């Protein structure tokens, strides 16, 4: 049986989502900003714990470039920067909430 071009074509929407949200920490970063009211770099770094500062910086910059986050630089000394969800990021939170509920029901609990 011959596969049609449509049958073997990748789903562009899912491929794009994977590229945007496929970073090791991106979903967790979005979760803490949206649902735990954590907005500063240091707070995120402490909450996640295992992430390096350079990796957190990279993930935050990518989420900002992909329009999921807004970076607010208060132009103060010492530097103060906060992150918040953009309209696009807020529109994704219903999906995140559904994913969290599904995970709570179906994934093994960590001990």
Q: Which helix (H) or strand (E) holds 34?
A: helix 26-35
Beta strands in 27-97 (DSSP E): 69-73, 81-85
- Residue 110, judged by CB atoms within 10 A of its CB (0-12, 13-18, 19+), counts as exposed
Kindly state the DSSP code that residue 25 receives in the 8-state scheme: T
Residue 60 contacts residue 74 (beta carbons within 8 Å): no
How much of the chain exceeds pLDDT 90, in percent? 77
Q: Where are the domains of the chain?
A: 17-105
**Average per-residue pLDDT for the chain:** 91
* pLDDT tens digits, 46-94: 999 999 999 999 999 999 999 999 999 999 998 899 999 999 999 999 9
Does position 7 have pLDDT exceeding 60, yes or no? no
CATH code that applies to domain 17-105:
1.10.10.10
């Amino acid at each position: 049986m011959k596969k049609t071009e449509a049958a073997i074509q990748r789903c562009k929407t899912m491929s794009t989502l994977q590229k945007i949200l496929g970073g090791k920490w991106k979903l967790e970063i979005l979760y803490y900003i949206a649902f735990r009211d954590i907005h500063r770099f240091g707070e995120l770094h402490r909450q996640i714990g295992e992430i390096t500062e350079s990796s957190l910086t990279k993930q935050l910059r990518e989420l900002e470039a992909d329009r999921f986050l807004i970076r607010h630089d208060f132009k103060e000394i010492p530097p103060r920067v906060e992150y918040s969800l953009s309209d696009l990021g807020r529109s994704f939170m219903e999906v995140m909430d559904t994913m969290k509920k599904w995970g709570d029901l179906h994934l093994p609990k960590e001990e």
